[in-house]
Chains A and B, each alone.
Chain A
Amino acid sequence: MPVRELSSGIYELDIDDRKMLATKNMIPGMSVYGERLITDDDTEYRQWDPSRSKLGAMVLKNFDIPLESDSIVLYLGAASGTTVSHVSDILTDGLVYAVEFSPRTMRDLIQLCDQRPNIIPILADANKPQSYAQIVEKADVIFQDVAQPNQAEIAAINSKYFLEEQGHLMLSIKSRSIDTVASPKKIFKEEVRKLESGFDIEFEVLERKELDPFHEDHLGLVAQMFVDDEE
């Protein structure tokens, strides 16, 4: 079966002339959310459904994905871990700190953490990075999918506390959680402007694309934190 590595740890399988996004299953035999498992030459892959994952959609939208096998990732808005499980597959030598504030959802996420050695669960509000600063180390990548009106602020303060110099911020912006009436295009523009100049840290937006048809009214964005060279 033809297998192509699209980005570190992210694969495209050719099955019956259909292309399928997948990651290598870290825990062979285990399906996390009912996704298909495919074995090829002793390697088991897990199908990655882009319509259930903003990150998956970003891959198929040809974003440059800044994840490596040894990355340290801070994931904000982990929910029950659909996407986190694929990040965990990708980070064979890395670690993902998974922040989620709903206790009910965290219950499911913990079951995933019990199986996988590289996910650290944190039940906390992403608005309050001080509340988990005693746990989280410097991250190479912050991935955020919280669907909150103040998404940009949340990204900025977390970056300030936890993002490595030149680290990457990956953001999924849902226009409807910011304003249900205004046009998504306008909202996205404003959010990008905020990231570029609205906070005391600055980002350079590397890529931005809407995530349709996988997710309507969502913008995917990858940015890099600017380093002031004061010296």
Chain B
Amino acid sequence: MTGTEFTAWFGKLKLDANGEIEDCDLFDKDPEKLAEIVVELQNNPQSVPLQRADLRDAALECGFVELDEDYDILLRDVCIRAAKSQISQTDTDDSRIIQAVEALDDIDKNVNELSERLFEWYGRYFPELEMTGEGLANFVSAYGSRTNVPEDHAMSEKASQSMGAELLFADEELLRTFANNICSLYDTRRYIENYINTSMGSVAPNLCEVAGASLGARLMSMAGSLEKLAAFPSSTVQVIGANRALFKHLRSRAPSPKHGIIFNNPVIKNAPWWQRGKLARALAAKISLAARTDFYSGELDPTIKEALDKKLESIRQANPNPPEKKPEAKPQKRGGKRKSRGRKKNKKSGGNN
């Protein structure tokens, strides 16, 4: 009949075989320190005897507090501190990159909408100007009314002959301000991209090397964290981003989709169609390995990328020609290349050369 030890938030308890307290060694009554102890115990759980004195009774019995209320007040204080410190620790390196990736998507969505508005709006005053996006925003921000376009500018002739309406001063100021904002969103976008590129190199060097900074970051974001990405089997990595199809597959055992975001990697996108599936599988396998290496060791292991390149090359060598039979229902559409910003779907257009 030996007793057990159990650490409560207020002290170390020695319990006899019936769970009654034999001895207690109380901690300092400092909420900050107690919170640290609570977090520490939470991260390294102890084995908990089922037969144990009730914590509140024990605290009163050992004289840690005198009143029930004091127990409540102190415990609440300690637990709020502990939870707050745990939350602040969740601001990890990969979570920062994920926020940046998501900010990038938000900017894209907004900048597209604002650019379209500028196109419509400014189009009234200079419909012949065939500019969109950042070019248009820069143009409007620089010149405002087309009457300000300098003579040596490529658009100067179009500007002087334009059928557009006259731009009043108040509207011109408004348009320029609006355009300035769009320009600064494009700047922010580049800034974030840079941030992702540099942080990926230190946070997930292997993923960065194998998948590229931007795709690697995006995979982490879609998985939820580097840890989760590292836990995925490579067959899942291959289809991350094929969301609707993927969820359907997980839910109802529908056939698994083949086209995740890793198909945006040039290695696959620029390959002839009959090689893509195999290349994607090889890439996914190495991405998976890279994510695991990053999560567990954090050191760059150049052999991953070397092995990948070798593997890709051997797939290309082994499949130089299209198979005899084309896969069923391959769309015959050609050309009609549309700018498909924001569209996730990966049409197999072009590519067969």
Q: List 22 A-B contacts (CB under 8 A).
A: A95-B72, A103-B86, A106-B83, A106-B87, A110-B80, A110-B84, A117-B72, A120-B75, A120-B76, A120-B79, A121-B79, A122-B79, A123-B83, A130-B47, A133-B48, A134-B42, A134-B46, A135-B75, A137-B54, A137-B55, A160-B50, A181-B252
In the complex, the 6 A-B pairs of residues with the closest C-beta atoms, listed nearest first: A130-B45, A133-B48, A103-B90, A137-B55, A131-B45, A137-B56
What are the interface flags for B16-46 relative to A under an 8 Å C-beta threshold, 1 for contact and 0 otherwise?
0000000000000000000000100111011
Q: Does B325 contact A (CB under 8 A)?
A: no
CB within 8 Å for A128 and B83 given contacts A117-B72, A134-B8: no
Residues of the A chain whose Cβ atoms lie less than 8 Å from the Cβ of B251:
180
| Contact (Cβ within 8 A) A114 B83 | no
In whole angstroms, how far apart are the Cα atoms of A114 and B77 in the complex?
A: 9
Q: What's the dominant secondary structure at chain A's contact region?
A: mixed
Shortest C-beta distance, B63 to chain A (Å), equals 17
Query: Closest residue to B69 on the A side, CB-wise?
Result: A117
Which A residues are closer than 8 A to B by beta carbons? Answer: 95, 103, 106-107, 110, 113-114, 117-124, 128-138, 160-161, 180-181
Q: Does B275 contact A (CB under 8 A)?
A: no
In whole angstroms, how far apart are the Cα atoms of A114 and B79 in the complex?
A: 11
Residues of the A chain whose Cβ atoms lie less than 8 Å from the Cβ of B47:
130
Shortest C-beta distance, B68 to chain A (Å), equals 9
Q: Does B9 contact A (CB under 8 A)?
A: yes
Q: Kindly list 17 other residue pairs between chains A and B, CB separation below 8 angstroms, not including A120-B76, A123-B83, A161-B50.
A: A110-B80, A110-B83, A118-B72, A121-B83, A123-B82, A124-B42, A128-B45, A131-B43, A131-B45, A132-B42, A133-B45, A135-B55, A135-B75, A135-B79, A137-B55, A138-B55, A180-B251
Q: Does B243 contact A (CB under 8 A)?
A: no
Query: Closest residue to A117 on the B side, CB-wise?
Result: B76
Q: Does B7 contact A (CB under 8 A)?
A: yes
Residues of the A chain whose Cβ atoms lie less than 8 Å from the Cβ of B9:
134-135
CB within 8 Å for A103 and B87 given contacts A130-B47, A134-B38, A136-B55: yes
Query: Closest residue to A95 on the B side, CB-wise?
Result: B72
Shortest C-beta distance, B81 to chain A (Å), equals 10
Shortest C-beta distance, B74 to chain A (Å), equals 11
Residues of the A chain whose Cβ atoms lie less than 8 Å from the Cβ of B41:
131, 134
| Contact (Cβ within 8 A) B54 A138 | yes
Shortest C-beta distance, B264 to chain A (Å), equals 28
